[in-house]
Amino acid sequence: MAKTELKTKAENKTQMVKIYIMGSMYEVPSSLTIMKAIEYAGFKLTRGSGCRAGFCGACATVYRKEGDFRIYTALACQTQVEEGMYLAQMPFVPANKAKYDMETLDPIVGTMLQYYPEVARCLSCNACSRVCPQEIQVMDYVQYSLQGQFDKAAAVSFDCVQCGLCAIRCPAEIPQYHVAMLARRLHGKHNMKAPETLEKRVKEIEDGEYEEGFKELMSLPKDKLRHKYYHERDFIDQKKA
Amino acid sequence: MIRGYPENMRKSIENVNKTRAKRLTETKADLTEAERKEVLNNYHPDYNPKFKRDLAWGPNKGDNIPNEVADVIEAYPVVNPDDIDLSKIDYDVGVLIIGAGGAGTSAALWALKKGVPADKILIATKLRLGDCNTVMAQGGIQAADRPEDSPLIHYLDVIGGGHFDNKPKLAKALVNDAPKIIKWHKELGMMYDQNPDGSFVENAGGGTSRNRMHCSKDYTGMEIFRVLKDEVINKEIPVVEFSPAVELLTDETGRIVGTILYNIETKQYFVVKAKVTIMTTGGFGRLHVAGFPTTNHYGATADGIVMAYRAGAKLRNLESTQFHPTGAAFPEQMLGLLITEKVRSLGGQVLGYDGEQICYPLEPRDVEASSLIKCCASTDNYVETPTGMRGVWLDSPLIEELKGKGSVEKNLSAMYRMMQRFDIDISKDPILVYPTLHYQNGGILHDENCYSSLKGLLAAGEISGGVHGKNRLMGNSLLEVNVFGRRAGITAAKEYKKKGVKSGKLSLDHVKKSVESLDALKMKEIRHSPMILPEYRSEAVRDRLVKLYEDSC
Amino acid sequence: MKNSYFPGCNLKTDAKGFEQSAIAVSKALDAELVEMPEWNCCGTVQTMTADNLMRRIAPVRVLSRASKHVKELEGSQNSVTTLCSMCNSTLKIVNAEVKENPNDLEKINFQLENDDLVYEGDVQVKHFLEILRDDVGYENIAKKVTNPLEGMKIASYYGCMLLHPDKAKIDDEEMPTVMESIVLSLGAEVVDWPYFKQCCGSYHIVDRDDIVNSQVAKIIRNAKKTGANALIVACPLCAYNLDNQQLELEKQGVEKDPIPIFYFTQLMAIAMGLPQKVNHFEDNHINPKPLLTELGLIEEKK
C-alpha cells in the first residue's frame, strides 16, 4: 500500500476535538492520548513525560470538563483526549520522603509513626483514593499503616506509580505514596522472608561449587555447545510437544 | 465497539473463543534449529539489509548496524568544544554515574557500600531519578535458585538464546550473581511474589528450560526500582536531574576524566570532573529502529553510546536489536506498548485470525517475534484494526482456565488496568499484539568487572554489549542492570581508592578529532547528536503509525 | 447470632489480647464478632469539635460501611460492635448527632457519594459489654464457665468513656453493674470501690506523664485498699496507662507491688477454658501469670 493512500485513510478518519492546555485552546485528533495531544499541539516535553507507558508516574494530569464541577485525574500517556478537557500537568509534587536506615527498623506501628507521624491526622475523607489514577484505595492503605497492618497496606498499595496526586489532594497533608513505600519495605523485609533454597544456592556459588562446570561449558567449541543446547536440554517445568 | 473491540475484530475473537477448549491441552512444538534460521533470516528486521548500513568511522568502522543508530553515531556534536570553559569545575567527584536507572542506582549503592562516601558520588540523569526502562520491565528477573535448577543450566539458556555470540565471562557473571542479587533485594525489602509455603513464585520465560522468573505481579521492574530509589534517597547520594551528559571529558592520555552536563531546563552547561565514570545511560528504543514503535522510556536515545564512541570506546553486537514479540497493536493509543512476556509464561498462546496457534509461545524472543511478523506479512491469517494496523491474538483468557478465575487480574494487574482503561477486559477477551522495539542487545564493550576499553570509563546495563549476544532472554535485563550495576559500583570503589592515579587536564580534544573524522566523510546530511529527546511534535505523532505499517508489513 | 465488628486501630497493635480473646469469647457464646472488611480510624477526639463537619467524615464513613456490612452479614443485627471504649464513645456520639441534624448528615454524605457510600442513620453502635448484657445474658455466660475464677478479687474500671456523656453511655453513670455482673458470672469476687470512673489521664501520657502517674497512683491505691488483686478494663488506652505506669511508679519508688490489669474478655477466656494464646499475655507490662498460677487458674509451663 502506498504511503499517500494510507495517509488519506488516516486523515479521513481523523476527528478533531478541542482541548485546553493550561487554558489555551488547541484542536487535536480525538484518537490521541493526552500526552500525544500535547505534543501534537506543538509542545516538546521535558517535564511530564517519562516511561510513556503508565509505570513511572511522571505524567500525572489534573483536568476538568466543560459543564462538570468535578476534578478528574489521569496519567496523560494512558488516557484518550475528550472534547472540552481543561488540562494541567502535575509533573512534580513536593512531598517529604523520610530518610531511614532499613537495617534498624522494626515492622511495628511505632516505626511508621516515628517517620510519618502525619498518618495519624487522616480524616478518612478518601480524597486520595478518588484522585488515584491507578484506582488504588489509598485511604485504606493509610489506615492499614496506622493500624500497623503492613501486609494489607503493602498489598493495597502495591500498584502505586508514585505520581503523588494523593499527597497534593490530602487535607491532612500526608505523603501517602511515601508512607506506602515504607510499609511495603517493612513488609517485604520482615514478613516475606526468602526461602532457604536461596541462601543455600548463594552459599554453593560462593563456595565455588559450579566453577568446574563453568570451566567445562566455557571451553566447549561452538558446535558442541550448540548440540548441548538444541538436543540435551530438558524442560522439566514446561509442557512441550 | 463491543466491549472495547470493533465488530470486525469481534468476529475473529469468536474464533478464538471457539478453539479455546481444544487448545487447553494442545501444545505446539518449538522450532528446530533450521526452522529458526529460516524465520529469522526472512522476517527479523536484524537480518534485513535494507534496515542497516556499515558504520563509516571510528573504532567499529565497518560494523553493519541499524541505520538509525548509525545516524546518531555519524553525526556532529551538539556542543562546540570552544564554547565550554573547562577551567571552571562545577562538580569535583570520585565516582560519576551517568544515568539514573537500575544500573546507575545499583552502582551508586554498591560504590557507597564499598567505601566511597556519598558526597563523593554523583548521579546525573537526563530526566528524573527513575525515568528509565527498569521501571517498565514487567515480567520478571531470572535467578536459578531452585534445587532443580542451576547457574549452569541458566548459562546454557543464555548462550543458546544469544546464538552463541555472548561473551562467555559476562554470561557467567550474569547467571552466577543472580541468586546473590535476589538475596540483596530481599534484604532491602522488595516484595517478590511467594507461594503460601514461602517459596518464590517462579515462571517460565521464552527460551528458558527451567521456571526461574521471579516476579512482583507484572510490576517487577517498578518494585525493584522504587526500592533502589528509596535507598538512594535514604543514603543521601547526590542526584542531578534534568541534566543529561552531552560529552565526556578526556585528558591528554585519553583517560575519561568527567563529563559535560546540560541542564535542559535552564539551558546551562556544567563541568564535572571525576576520578571514575560509570556509563549507565541505557538503550536506543526511542531511535525507532526500522520504524518500529517502542516499549522504551522517553529518554532512550543512545546518548551514552554516542559520547563513549566519540571518546574512542569500542562497541560490540550493536548489529542486534531486540523486538519484543508482543507489543500492543490495539487500541491505537497503546500502540507499541509492552504486553509482558509473562502473559505467555502463565500459559497465554499466540493465535491467528482463525483462532489457531501460530507457534510455540515461549520461543526465544527473536524467533517468536519473527514468527509473528511472518504471520502478518506473508499470510492472511492476521487481524486488521480500523487504522490499518495488523496484529495477532494473545489469548489471555486462557490463563483464567489454566490458573483459575481471577488469576489475570491478580498476576497481570498492570496489563489488566492498562486495557481496562480502554474498555477491554483481558480476562475475558484476547489482546491484539505485534512485535515492538524493546531492547538494545549490543553496546559498549566491557569485561566482567565493567571496565570498558577506555581508562576511567566503566559501563553497565543496557548500554553494554556482549552479555546477551544477539538476543536477550526475558528476565535477564532486570538481572543485568543489577548484576553489572553492582559490579560497576564495586569496581568504581576500587578505582576510587587507588592511590597515584593521575588525571591530566580536562579537555574536549577527542570531540574536535571526531569532527575531523566526520568532515572527511563528506556526509550529505548534517546531523547532530546526542539526540537527548526524540521529536514527536505536530504531525510526527501521526506519521509514525503510517511509517510503522509501511516498513514492517 | 453474628455481629459486625469494628476493631479500631489499637486492637491490631497494642491490644491484640483484647481483640483475640473477645473474638474467641464471642464465638463460644454464639455472638460472633465478624470484622468489617474495610474500616478506618473512628476519628477519636478529633470529632469532639461539633462545628467541624470535616472531622465527622471518618466516623460517618465507619457507620456507612457498617450499614453495608450488616446487610451482607447473615444473621447479623442492625448494629456495629466495638471493643475500645474510645471508639464506642466517638461512634455513638456522632451517630446520635447526625441523626439529630439531617442537614449535617447530608453534607457529609456528599463527601461519601463518590465512594458509593451513603449513611442513612440506620445503624446502632454497641459496645461488646452491651452485647454480653443484652443479647447473651449473664446466665448464659455463667453456663459456659468451666474454670471459675475463685480467689480473684476484681475491681471493675470503667474510665470516663463508657459512662459519659449521655449519648455514649452504656450503663448508669453512678451505679454501673455490667462489668460487675460479668465478674460474678465468672465466679470471681466483686470489689466495691469508688474510683471506677476516675480518669486514667488518657492522652496526657504523650506529653505529661506526671498527670497520668498521679491519676494511676490514686486509682491503684484505692483498688488495693478495697481488697482487689486485679483490675479489669475495656479500653486499650486505660489499659496502657494503668499497666505501664504502675511499673513506672514502682521504678520511681512511689508505689510497690503492682497488680495486673486485664481486659474483661481475657478473664472470660480463662474462665471459659479457651486456649490461652488468645490472651497475648506477653503484651502485658505487669505479668499476670504469677497471680493466675498461684490461684490455680492456669497451669504455667515449666
* pLDDT, one tens digit for every residue, chain C (302 residues): 999 999 999 999 999 999 999 999 999 999 999 999 999 999 887 667 777 888 899 999 999 999 999 999 999 999 999 999 999 999 999 999 999 999 999 999 999 988 889 999 999 999 999 999 999 999 999 999 999 999 999 999 999 899 999 999 999 999 999 999 999 999 999 999 999 999 999 989 989 999 999 999 999 999 999 999 999 999 999 999 999 999 999 999 999 999 999 999 999 999 999 999 999 999 999 999 999 999 999 987 65
Q: Domains along chain A?
A: 17-89 (3.10.20.740), 102-191 (1.10.1060.10)
Whether residue B184 lies inside any domain: the answer is yes
Whether residue B66 lies inside any domain: the answer is no
| All residues at 6 or more sequence positions from B499 whose CB lies less than 8 Å from its CB, including other chains | none
Residue A149 has pLDDT above 80, yes or no: yes
Reported confidence tier of residue B540, pLDDT bands at 50, 70, 90 = low
CATH number at residue B419: 3.90.700.10
Whether residue B63 lies inside any domain: the answer is no
Same-domain pairing of B298 and B232: yes
B–C contact: 3+ Cβ pairs < 8 A:
no
Same-domain pairing of B149 and B215: yes
Whether residue B200 lies inside any domain: the answer is yes
Reported confidence tier of residue B297, pLDDT bands at 50, 70, 90 = very high
Same-domain pairing of B138 and B172: yes
Domains C2-130 and C146-294 share a fold: no
Contacts 24+ apart (CB under 8 A), B499-506: B501/B275, B503/B251, B503/B255, B503/B257, B503/B273, B503/B275, B503/B456, B504/B251, B504/B252, B504/B253, B504/B255, B504/B257, B505/B86, B505/B251, B505/B252, B506/B86, B506/B89, B506/B249, B506/B251, B506/B257, B506/B258, B506/B271, B506/B273
Instruction: Output the CA–CA distances (angstroms, integers) from residue C13 to A174, A182, A206, C157, in the order listed.
Output: 21, 17, 41, 22
Please list, residue by residue across C191-225, b when 16 or more beta carbons sit within 10 angstroms of its beta carbon and e when fewer do: bebebbbbbbbbebbeeebeebbebbbebbebbbe
Query: Which residues of chain A are within 8 Å of residue B151 when distances are taken between CB atoms?
Result: 205, 210, 214
Q: What pLDDT is stored for residue A3 in this prediction?
A: 38
Output the nine-digit C-alpha cell for A105. Answer: 527498623
CA distance B182 to B474: 16
Q: Please name the residue of chain A whose CA is at the shortest distance from the CA of residue B136.
A: A55
Same-domain pairing of B337 and B251: no
Containing domain of residue B374, as a range? Answer: 7-30+323-437
Q: Are B141 and B182 in contact (CB under 8 A)?
A: yes
Specify the residue for cell string 470503667: C158
CA distance C276 to B128: 54
Q: Are strands B464-465 and B443-445 parallel, antiparallel or unpaired?
A: parallel
Query: Number of C-alpha atoms within 13 angstroms, CB side, residue B310?
Result: 34
Is B310 an active-site residue?
no
Measured over all CA atoms, what is the biggest interatomic distance in chain A, rounded to whole angstroms?
73
Residue B547 has pLDDT above 70, yes or no: no
Instruction: Output the CA–CA distances (angstroms, integers) from residue B172 to A214, B169, B305, B446, in the order listed.
Output: 8, 5, 24, 14
Same-domain pairing of B418 and B278: no
Cβ–Cβ gap B27/A199 under 8 Å: no
Residue B1 has pLDDT above 50, yes or no: yes
Alpha helices in chain A (DSSP H): 3-13, 34-40, 109-115, 127-131, 138-146, 150-157, 165-169, 176-186, 196-206, 211-219, 222-227
Q: What pLDDT is stored for residue B463 in this prediction?
A: 97
Reported confidence tier of residue B464, pLDDT bands at 50, 70, 90 = very high
Q: Give B320-377 pLDDT, tens digit per residue.
A: 999 999 999 999 999 999 999 999 999 999 999 999 999 999 999 999 999 999 999 9
| All residues at 6 or more sequence positions from B312 whose CB lies less than 8 Å from its CB, including other chains | B58, B59, B254, B453, B454, B510
CA distance A139 to A122: 8
Whether residue B41 lies inside any domain: the answer is no
Q: Give A201-236 pLDDT, tens digit per residue.
A: 999 999 999 999 999 999 999 999 999 999 999 988
Angle at A153 between CA A152 and CA A157, to 5 degrees: 115
Q: Give A71-98 pLDDT, tens digit per residue.
A: 999 999 999 999 999 999 999 999 999 9
Same-domain pairing of B380 and B468: no
CA distance A153 to A147: 9
| Amino acid in the structure at residue C218 | K
| All residues at 6 or more sequence positions from B208 whose CB lies less than 8 Å from its CB, including other chains | B142, B154, B157, B362, B473, B474, B475
3-state secondary structure B401-446: HHHCCCHHHHHCHHHHHHHHCCCCCCCCCCEEEEEEEEEECCEEEE
Q: What pLDDT is stored for residue A69 in this prediction?
A: 94
Same-domain pairing of B131 and B244: yes
Query: Number of C-alpha atoms within 13 angstroms, CB side, residue C138?
Result: 11
Output the nine-digit C-alpha cell for C44. Answer: 477519636
| Amino acid in the structure at residue B243 | S
Query: CATH number of the domain at C2-130, please?
Result: 1.20.1050.140
| Amino acid in the structure at residue B226 | R
Same-domain pairing of B351 and B286: no
Whether residue B547 lies inside any domain: the answer is no
CATH number at residue B142: 3.50.50.60
CA distance C126 to C3: 10
Q: Which of B23, B344, B438, B446 is catalytic?
A: B344
* A neighbours by CB contacts (3+ pairs under 8 Å): B, C
Is C61 an interface residue toward A (CB < 8 Å)?
Answer: yes
Q: Are strands C124-127 and C189-190 parallel, antiparallel or unpaired?
A: unpaired
Cβ–Cβ gap A241/B332 under 8 Å: no
Question: Which of B381, B409, B437 is the endpoint of a domain?
Answer: B437
Output the nine-digit C-alpha cell for B67. Answer: 541505520
Same-domain pairing of B242 and B342: no
Residue A7 has pLDDT above 50, yes or no: no
Restricting to C residues 26-45, those with a Cβ less than 8 Å away from any Cβ of A are 38-41, 43
Domain limits, chain C: 2-130, 146-294
Quote the radius of gyration of chain C (alpha carbons, Å): 19
Same-domain pairing of B296 and B339: no
Cβ–Cβ gap A147/C114 under 8 Å: no
B163: closest CA among A222, A224, A228? A222
Q: Hey, is B459 helix, strand or coil? A: strand
Query: Which residues of chain A are within 8 Å of residue C7 when distances are taken between CB atoms?
Result: 147
Is B128 an active-site residue?
no
Alpha helices in A45-175 (DSSP H): 109-115, 127-131, 138-146, 150-157, 165-169
| All residues at 6 or more sequence positions from B180 whose CB lies less than 8 Å from its CB, including other chains | A202, A205
Q: What pLDDT is stored for residue C115 in this prediction?
A: 86
Question: Which of B384, B416, B437 is the endpoint of a domain?
Answer: B437
Q: What pLDDT is stored for residue C46 in this prediction?
A: 67
**What are the backbone angles phi and psi of residue B451, rounded to the nearest 5°?**
-70, 130
CA distance B482 to B460: 9
| Third-level CATH fold of C146-294 | Rossmann fold (3.40.50)
B395: closest CA among B358, B350, B365? B350
Quote the distance between the C-alpha of residue A186 and its chain's center: 19
Q: What pLDDT is stored for residue A238 in this prediction?
A: 74
**What are the backbone angles phi and psi of residue C102, rounded to the nearest 5°?**
-60, -30
Whether residue B360 lies inside any domain: the answer is yes
Whether residue B46 lies inside any domain: the answer is no
Domain count, chain B: 2
Cβ–Cβ gap A58/B131 under 8 Å: yes
Q: Which of B297, B324, B365, B487 is catalytic?
A: B324
How long is chain C?
Answer: 302
Cβ–Cβ gap A192/B147 under 8 Å: no
3-state secondary structure chain C: CEEEEECCHHHHCCCHHHHHHHHHHHHHCCCEEEECCCCCCCCHHHHHCCCCHHHHHHHHHHHHHHHHHHHHCCCEEEEEEECCHHHHHHHHHHHHHHHHCHHHHHHHHHHHHHHCCCCCCCCEEEEHHHHHHHHHCHHHHHHCCCCCCCCCEEEECCCCCCCCCCCCCCCCCCCCCHHHHHHHHCCCEECCCCCCCCCCCHHHHCCCHHHHHHHHHHHHHHHHHCCCCEEEECCHHHHHHHHHHHHHHHHCCCCCCCCCEEEHHHHHHHHCCCCHHHHCHHHCCCCCHHHHHHCCCCCCCC
Residue of B33, B333, B403, B535 to mutate, testing the A interface (most A Cβ within 10 Å of its Cβ): B333
CA distance A32 to A37: 6
Q: What pLDDT is stored for residue B545 in this prediction?
A: 52
Residue from the list B182, B219, B541 with its beta carbon closest to the beta carbon of A198: B182
Cβ–Cβ gap B542/A238 under 8 Å: no
Cβ–Cβ gap A147/C13 under 8 Å: yes
Instruction: Looking at the complex, report in whole angstroms how far the Cα of residue A140 sits from the nearest Cα belonging to chain C.
Output: 7
Q: Give B211-235 pLDDT, tens digit per residue.
A: 999 999 999 999 999 999 999 999 9
Is C57 an interface residue toward A (CB < 8 Å)?
Answer: yes
